[in-house]
Chain A
Amino acid sequence: MIDVLLLAQESTGFFPTFLQTLIKGLALGSIYAVMGIGFVIVFKGTQVLNFAAGGIAMAGALFMSILVNDAGLPFLPFSNPLAPEIGTTPSIPRWLINLVLALIIAAILGMVLERIAIRPMIGQPLFSMAVITLGIETALGPFNRDATSLTARSLQIPWGLEQWEFLGAGIPKSYVGAMVAAVLCFLSINLFFRSRFGVAMRAVAFDQEAAQAQGINVGRVFSIAWGLGAALVAVGAIFYGMGPFPPQGTVSQEIHPVLAFRVLPVIILGGLDSIPGALYGGLLIASAEVFAGQYLAQWTSVLGAGYSTIVPYIVMLIVLLVRPYGLFGSEEIRRV
């Protein structure tokens, strides 16, 4: 059986197959990393793991879909002047401008949710705040489902399924787009943490009360963390919507709701409060998932259908056994 598979791969070329798999792993890893950073930002700012990230991410992708498909804007009485003509695919610059708009709307959603549901909980047990985020996730569910169930929600990707040929391998433009987006997000977040707000966020993460005593507006830090976190997970959801990723250019009612759950191993592996950890964790987890899917396929009957989606959790468990605080997480030191 192995020989058969190797022969078949030889017919398409071992190296092109390997290269395609590697690029896919890096692209998926980029998406995991960006979404992971979204989790980490909220955690660093508020010490809360944001279980509402999935709902917010899908809502962000829906905002993008509405902006590029419909003349109107959600909740606003006027139309989007930057929307492409209905029925036409937008140009890349126009699509990117609408992407920025969608991320701004997603960030506002995150900030509003924080103000309504999280801010009143400041000072309460972290467990309660985490459960509140679960409640937000549940509340966003019907909105997301209704918005996707009645009509197909296309993301109007300007490059569709186009790909470049490189050394015999097909490299989808969407994969490269995801990697570029991850690099830009990573650089932007690093710059942010060097700004005044970034330093304030680090101070709040270190000790909320001490930071408040130093005159830092903790509420504003919370708000910014949720806004940034929401925009980042929305970036991940939008780029994951591009073909040949499974949703194939749409906001998927099947796939998008569980995307954030798939990122949890990434942040556990990388360390809950580490941005480099989210980056490396994302790349490692996604590569493991994609390479397992590609090169263990002949053992599906033994490993079980959908085995590759289990791989991230196996990798996570193995790493946690060796490094309980993740690859880059801060070790908790307690006096006993």
Chain B
Amino acid sequence: MKFKRLLALFMALGLVASACGSSETDDGAAGESESSATTEATAEEETTTTAAPAEAEEPAAEIATDFGVTDDTIKVGLNADLSGPFASLVAEIVEGQTVYWEVVNANGGIAGRQVEMVVLDSGYATDKGIENYLTLAAESDEGVAMISENTGSPITAAIAEDAKDDDILVIPLSWASLWADPDIGPNILEKGTNYCIESMNGISFLADLVTENGDTPKLAILSRPGEYGADGFAGAALAAELLDIEVVYAAEGEVAGDDRTAVVTQLVNSGANIVWTTLTPGETADIFGNAVAQGFEAQWSGNQPSFNYLAHLGGDLAESFDQYWWQSGYTVPWNGNDSEGMQDLVAAFTELRPDNNLSDVYAIGWMEGLMVQTVLEQAAANGDMTRAGIVAASQEVTVDFKGLGPNQSWAGSYNDSVVRESYMFDADATAFDIQPVSSGTGSTGLFIEKGPFVSEIVADYVFDGPCI
């Protein structure tokens, strides 16, 4: 009977594991911030003033600093998923930011100071992410000036309140529409188009395609549980309402667990000719693959994290993705245009990381670097590189992404500050060919079909707060 008891315990574990499906859940993020501690000391109490080095670009006569900034160094922190479900993407995004700082430092740094990255691995676990945050936000020599990357909605939601209390700026690696809302995260400096607006632009694009072919758009929306799924779904539902498109199947938060037969069955039987997904790449491949295998034909697209060119254009489903899938996104693919930003990025990687394989997501890390540099330079110009000064500077700047994505500023109301542009990419399996950067050849198989563009429904819409 000992085994029966033991098995009962592990049956329960198995049940939980199966029901939860993947570990990529966004569940339970909100409200978790209460578990992390904050300190009572204020930044002002420990503020010091140091003279700016002579080589700084137009330095203020004196620059106030507190944590993470010394006479010769500025420390920025990354709370990154380097061992969890998004590790493959995040490792390359971190690499993008690393190379960016190597270039900046080689050119004299910011305000005469070298930028030093402090990278901590969260594994996409909220408790570990909070622990990392507390390390990075420590009001001591160990602390950083700002957090230049914080992976994931759950961890960002968990630390948002603390970031406000600690008066430290955080750039999330998450595109939830929550972050532009000052009530949720005044210190969370969102970047790029949020999932909600991305869904609206994407569905407008797909609807135009179907209409041009003489058909009436019929939409199916598939989303997973959590903030990510909810935000993408909300945008899709809003687009359907504004465009007067019939939603023939709405699987809101229903893509959960490992067996998606029910979702595929209902999708195939729905009569949809447009499908919008807010899923993980694995979920997308499963549902897309099974639906296509059953003869289901539609125009597919989804929020950017739904798709992974390595898995989808490098796998057995490549031809089908080529035929039916349009990828949505916020940044230009590798070598996707001739912009100044892309030329800088490619040149830097060719020189500093010639053996790395090309990747579309280096640009995200590079853009994080551009954001941080712009904000820090503004803070230096203001003569205040304290954490509070950096937060204040973020509200004064417009970041020029030099053609890698739409420029962005954060001042004004929610409606004023959200980014409305996104891209649609054509997935070309025949072009997919991952090569080392130094080869000067190869492609991720994604090419700009349209963008940056703003659909009519997004241009006209007044966003008075997050979509969820």
On A, residues with C-beta under 8 Å from B are: 5, 8-9, 11-12, 20, 24, 49, 51, 126-127, 130, 142, 145-146, 149-152, 154, 157, 160-161, 163, 170, 172, 243-244, 246-250, 252-255, 258-259, 261-262, 264-265, 268, 272, 289-290, 293-294, 296-298, 300, 305-310, 313, 316, 324, 332
Contact = CB atoms under 8 A, between A and B. Distances in A.
A258 B17 contact: yes
Contacts of A145: 83, 87
Interface in B1-19: 1-4, 6-7, 10-11, 13-15, 17-19
Nearest to A324: B4
A300 B254 contact: yes
A294 B265 contact: yes
Contact of A262 (B18, B269, B286): B18
What are the 6 tightest A-B residue pairs by CB atom distance, in nearest-first order? Answer: A306-B257, A293-B261, A8-B269, A249-B316, A261-B14, A254-B22
A172 to B, nearest CB: 7
B252 to A, nearest CB: 9
A247 B91 CA distance: 22
10 contacts: A246-B259, A246-B260, A246-B282, A249-B315, A255-B258, A294-B265, A300-B266, A305-B251, A308-B262, A309-B18
Contacts of B286: 244, 246-248
Nearest to B21: A306
A309 B4 CA distance: 22
Given A248-B311, A297-B265, A305-B257, 13 more contacts: A12-B294, A127-B2, A152-B310, A152-B314, A161-B316, A247-B282, A253-B85, A254-B21, A254-B24, A294-B262, A294-B265, A297-B266, A309-B259
B16 to A, nearest CB: 9
Nearest to B260: A246
A172 B295 CA distance: 13
Given A49-B3, A293-B259, A170 B315 contact: no
A294 to B, nearest CB: 5
Given A150-B88, A293-B259, A170 B294 contact: yes
A307 B260 CA distance: 9
B293 A262 contact: no
B372 interface: no
A163 B2 contact: no
A305 B253 contact: yes
Interface string B186-225: 0000000000000000000000000000000000000001
B256 interface: yes
A149 B124 CA distance: 13
B160 interface: no
A146 B308 CA distance: 17
A218 to B, nearest CB: 20
Nearest to A8: B269
Count chain A CB atoms within 10 A of each CB in B14, B271, B317 and give the residue with the most. Answer: B14
B358 interface: no
Contacts of A20: 294
B261 A290 contact: yes
A214 to B, nearest CB: 26
B418 interface: no
Interface in B220-272: 225, 251, 253-263, 265-266, 268-271
Contacts of B4: 324
Given A127-B2, A149-B83, A252-B282, A157 B316 contact: yes
A220 B7 CA distance: 27
Contacts of A309: 18-19, 21, 257-259
A78 B226 CA distance: 47
Contact of A261 (B17, B88, B294): B17
A305 B254 contact: yes
A154 B314 contact: yes
A248 B256 contact: no
Contacts of B256: 305-306
A88 to B, nearest CB: 13
A18 to B, nearest CB: 12
Interface string B12-44: 011101110111100000000000000000000
B315 A149 contact: no
Nearest to B225: A305
B54 to A, nearest CB: 44
Contacts of A264: 7, 10-11, 14
Contacts of B24: 254
Given A294-B261, A297-B262, A310-B15, A152 B311 contact: yes
Contacts of A308: 257, 259, 261-262
B218 to A, nearest CB: 13
B17 A296 contact: no
Nearest to A289: B259
B3 A126 contact: yes
A243 B18 contact: no
A335 to B, nearest CB: 14
Contact of A5 (B21, B85, B257, B269): B269
A293 B311 contact: no
Given A258-B258, A297-B266, A244 B289 contact: yes
Contact of A154 (B7, B254, B315): B315
Contacts of A252: 282
B22 A127 contact: no
Contact of A127 (B6, B251, B259, B310): B6
B316 A243 contact: yes
B407 interface: no
B285 interface: yes
Contacts of B10: 51, 264
A296 B262 contact: yes
Contact of A161 (B19, B258, B268, B289): B289
Interface in B425-462: none
A140 B328 CA distance: 36
B318 to A, nearest CB: 9
Contacts of A154: 314-316
A132 B124 CA distance: 27
Given A152-B310, A254-B282, A268-B11, A170 B258 contact: no
A8 B266 CA distance: 9
Contacts of A244: 286, 289-290, 293
Contacts of B3: 49, 126, 272
B301 interface: no
